[in-house]
Amino acid sequence: MNREEKKRILPRHIAIIMDGNGRWAKKRSLPRTAGHIAGAKTFKTIARYCNKIGLEYLTVYAFSTENWKRPKEEVEGIMDLLRDYLKDAENFKDENIRVRFIGDRTPLAEDIKALMVKNEEGSENATGLNLNIAINYGGRDEITHAVKKIINSGISAEDITEQTISDNLYTAGCPDPDFIIRPSGEYRLSNYLIWQSAYSEYWFSDILWPDFKPKHLEKAIEDYNQRNRRFGGI
């Protein structure tokens, strides 16, 4: 197998923590929101690139359950970016990308919730990349929500399996992430996909998210190809 072919062994599902927007803006003496604008551009470029190379699933962390603690202007700035992105209902449609949102939608603005449904329905027949966007997402919140759903379903305790839990998460039906990428020099999971990441491989880098390019993703995938995944076996 030559180098080119080797690069093409893709993980089935890549998850990304889009971190470092604030620091990127600070370095340029810009407001934090400018970092999020640049981060949203990178997100679109990377999603398109993942679709182009034939990735099956990409899950990005856009807003966590903890991000509400940020200053009001910053939260509003991120929500406005999301709104703009969603309003372009043709987003990704021509590109055959299927969009799905994961997280608790309850506290989101009504117009955003309606746009999310519109984007999901508008792209549901796409056969290219499955793009999951995590908004007001937290892994612990997701598990808590799943436990409530399971109890309310009336299933008896003995019948609950790991699959029952997986089937009641926001990511139900989606394979677990093979590979989790976190740029910006932080080495933690920050409540992201904590159930699903049990056997994920990780890739960290100092690059700030707005500077993250397809070439960095290619490098990450090359590194992934060197990993020896044993899933607890030998």
Q: Which residues bind ligand FPP (CB under 6 A)?
A: 18-23, 36, 39-40, 43, 62, 67, 78, 81-82, 85, 133, 184
When the beta carbons of 82 and 221 are compared against ligand FPP, the nearer one is 82
Minimum distance between the CB of residue 50 and ligand FPP, rounded to whole angstroms? Answer: 14
**Nearest CB to ligand FPP, comparing residues 40 and 221:** 40
Task: For residue 19, indicate whether it is catalytic.
Answer: yes
Question: Least CB distance from residue 127 to ligand FPP, whole Å?
Answer: 22
Residue bearing tokens 């449609």: 93
Nearest distance from C-beta of residue 157 to ligand FPP, angstroms:
37
Which CB, 90 or 222, lies closer to ligand FPP?
A: 90
CB of 214 to ligand FPP, least distance (A): 16
Full strand arrangement of the beta sheet holding 201-204 = 98-102, 130-137, 57-64, 13-17, 179-182, 201-204
Q: Are 220 and 181 in contact (CB under 8 A)?
A: yes
The active-site residue out of 2, 21, 51, 67 is: 67
Long-range contacts of 38-42 (CB under 8 A, 24+ apart): 38/210, 39/209, 39/210, 40/81, 40/85, 41/210, 42/18, 42/209, 42/210, 42/211, 42/212, 42/213
User: Identity (one letter) of the amino acid at 156?
Assistant: S
Here the tokens at position 172 are 């139900």
Residue nearest ligand FPP by beta-carbon distance: 22
Spot the catalytic one: 2, 19, 84, 225: 19
CA gap 87, 41 in Å, rounded: 15
Rounded CA gap, 84 and 207, in Å? 26
Closer Cβ to ligand FPP, 22 or 103, answer by number: 22
Kindly list the catalytic residues.
Answer: 19, 67
